[in-house]
Amino acid sequence: MSNVFVLGVDSPIGLSLLRDLAKNQFNTIGIGAKRSIGHASRYCKRSVIRADSRERVISQLLGLGGDPKTDFLICISEGDIDLINKNRPVLTDYFTLLVPEQAQMDIVLDKYKTKQVADTLGIDTPKSYQLRDLNELDAFAQELSFPVVLKWANPLNVQPLLSKSGIGFHKLQFAKSIEQLKSLLSVYEKISIYPLIQEYCDGKGLGQFFLCKAGKSYVEFQHERVHEWPPEGGTSAFCRSLPLAEHQECLQKSKALLARLCWSGVAMVEYRYSSDKQKYVLMEINGRFWGSSPLAIHSGAEFASNLVKLLGANQPVIQPQLSQQNCIYMIPELKRLYRILFESNKIEDPNSHFDKSREFLTLLTAIFSRKTKYFVFSLDDPLPFFQDMTNVCKKVLRRR
């Protein structure tokens, strides 16, 4: 039996991968922190407490693996993919590494590089401006239409610099005026690196997911983000699978984009989709397993086990039959509802408007729907849910 090591089983993503792999007869070894939800799963055949530094993680992996013909390694986070790629030469003697090569990751991690490739294929991307110096802002200030959004071109690279300088990391910031924009950007003068200034794009998140080998797509899936946390835009809190027959033109462009990159592995191509304008705007490519992986698996798209078969064992895989499901990440969903009901002044997006009664009823209806599944809770694997609740309670008590 093949061994699949999953590095990062602390989140619903890692948990969903363990469930997928074990149900497809792989021997699963979950590597994560103490009290991780993945370790509580009946589908984690062996639990390994993650070492406490990047260097020790590599030593730990070398002690766990042995034969690249039977031992496969999957990572969840971009930080771990970076760590594996930095140590790829030594690790390949012990594992078949099921992570994208660094040259591919360098493109998808950099939103500006992704935009350049997408532009050549006629894929709409947000108007973006990259400052090298704060004084450059005056040159194009008249072109900006507010609000604008601030995002880092490569969050992975900038986070250590921000931390070292005592500057907080923001995945997303909104500026409603030129004065507010200058104020937000002035914080980063200390490190002389600035986030991208992007045009605001309305609509819902549309994610299209692929398993590719040398640019050819073998498994496909797509979903829409019904709700996000935070409410103004972020990760999926409540998502819904979509038939592949929908958004076909966009789907073909996504496949062309990954073919141009000669992508091997899993990837999510993420858009902001406006149904009113029938417009798709590319946000980014995630070259890793995505936050809504539980929805894909509940819908029949078993990306993890097919990744091992296609790229690890060189076995044929076919596009699965998909069912239409909803999936809720309950804690972020409840946080979102609380913010809308009681803390709407904290929602940064000035164009966001929510009907409080409708938001409450939408969640209530989804909870009682037969099509609704959950990111963590599962009747056939309930212990991760209780571990998650225990972790949340301990976190709340520590804060108090």
The 10s digit of each residue's pLDDT in 347-359 is 988 888 899 999 9
- Sequence-distant (≥ 6) Cβ neighbours of residue 327 within 8 angstroms: 236, 238, 239, 240, 241, 292, 294, 295, 298, 372, 373, 374, 375
Whether residue 281 is found in the same domain as residue 376:
yes
> Whole-prediction pTM value?
0.94
- Which of 81, 99, 117 represents a domain boundary (last residue)? 99
Of 84, 99, 114, the residue that ends a domain is 99
Is residue 156 scored above 90 in pLDDT?
no
Averaged pLDDT, 80-86: 97
CATH number at residue 132: 3.30.1490
Q: Compute the average pLDDT of residues 370-390.
A: 96
**Do 208 and 350 belong together in one domain?**
yes
311, burial (CB in 10 Å: exposed 0-12, middle 13-18, buried 19+): buried
In 121-220, which ranges are continuous DSSP H helix?
137-140, 155-164, 178-186
Cβ atoms within 10 A of the Cβ of 46, count? 13
Same-domain status, 186 and 263? no
Q: Which of 6, 44, 38 is nearest to 23 (CA)?
A: 44
Q: Is pLDDT of 398 > 90?
A: no
CA 260 to CA 300: how far, in whole Å? Answer: 27
Work out the percent of the chain whose per-residue pLDDT is above 90. Answer: 91
Rounded to whole angstroms, the Cα distance separating 351 from 202 reads: 8
Q: What are phi and psi of 233, to 5 degrees?
A: 135, 125
230 and 368 both lie in a single domain? yes
Provide the domain count of the chain: 3
Instruction: Provide the pLDDT for residue 233.
Output: 84
| Residue 380: band (very low, low, confident or very high) from pLDDT cuts 50, 70, 90 | very high
Q: What is the CATH number of the domain that holds 245?
A: 3.30.470.20
- What average pLDDT does range 197-203 have in this prediction? 93
The pLDDT assigned to 309 comes to 98
Crossing angle of helices 102-109 and 78-86, in 10° steps, is 150
In order of 41, 202, 236, 252, 391, the CA distances from 10 in angstroms are 11, 32, 17, 34, 11
Of all residues in the chain, what percent carry a pLDDT higher than 70? 100
* Phi, then psi, of 374 in degrees rounded to 5: -130, 150
Domain shared by 107 and 133, yes or no: no
Task: State whether 378 and 393 are in the same domain.
Answer: yes
Q: Going edge to edge, which strands form the sheet with 235-242?
A: 279-286, 265-274, 204-213, 216-229, 235-242, 326-328, 372-374
Q: Does 399 score more than 90 pLDDT?
A: no
Residue 392 contacts residue 331 (beta carbons within 8 Å): yes
Burial of 201 (0-12, 13-18, 19+ CB in 10 A): buried
Considering the domain architecture, whether residues 149 and 207 belong to the same structural domain is answered as no
pLDDT number for residue 22: 98
| Residues 228 and 263 both lie in one domain | yes
**What is the pLDDT confidence band of residue 396, given thresholds at 50, 70 and 90?**
confident
Q: Compute the distance between CA of residue 72 and CA of residue 70 in angstroms, rounded to an integer.
A: 7
Per the document, the length of the chain is 400
- Whether residues 173 and 242 share a domain: the answer is no
Mean pLDDT of 290-311: 97
CB atoms within 10 A of CB 325: 21
Condensed to tens digits (0 to 9), the pLDDT of residues 253-286 reads 999 999 999 999 999 999 999 999 999 999 999 9
- Tell me the pLDDT tens digit for each residue of 27-71: 999 999 999 999 999 999 999 999 999 999 999 999 999 899 999
Residue 311 shares a structural domain with residue 295: yes
- Provide the residue range defining the domain that includes 173: 127-199
For the cut 80, the answer to whether the pLDDT of residue 400 exceeds it is no
Q: Given 47, 81, 99, which residue is the final one in a domain?
A: 99
According to the model, what pLDDT value does residue 1 have?
A: 79
Residue appearing with tokens 């819904």: 240
State residue 284's pLDDT score. Answer: 95
Tokens of 216: 């050819």
Q: How buried is residue 239: exposed, middle or buried, by Cβ count under 10 Å (0-12/13-18/19+)? A: buried
| Angle at 263 (CA atoms; ends 257, 269), nearest 5 degrees | 50
Same domain, 367 and 271: yes
Same domain for 58 and 183: no
| CATH number of the domain encompassing residue 80 | 3.40.50.20
Output the pLDDT for position 232.
86
Whole-angstrom CA distances from 350 to 14, 175, 244, 354, 357 are 34, 9, 33, 11, 20
Going across the sheet that includes 173-175, the strands are 128-129, 196-199, 148-151, 173-175
Per the prediction, the chain carries an average pLDDT of 95
pLDDT at 187 over 90: yes
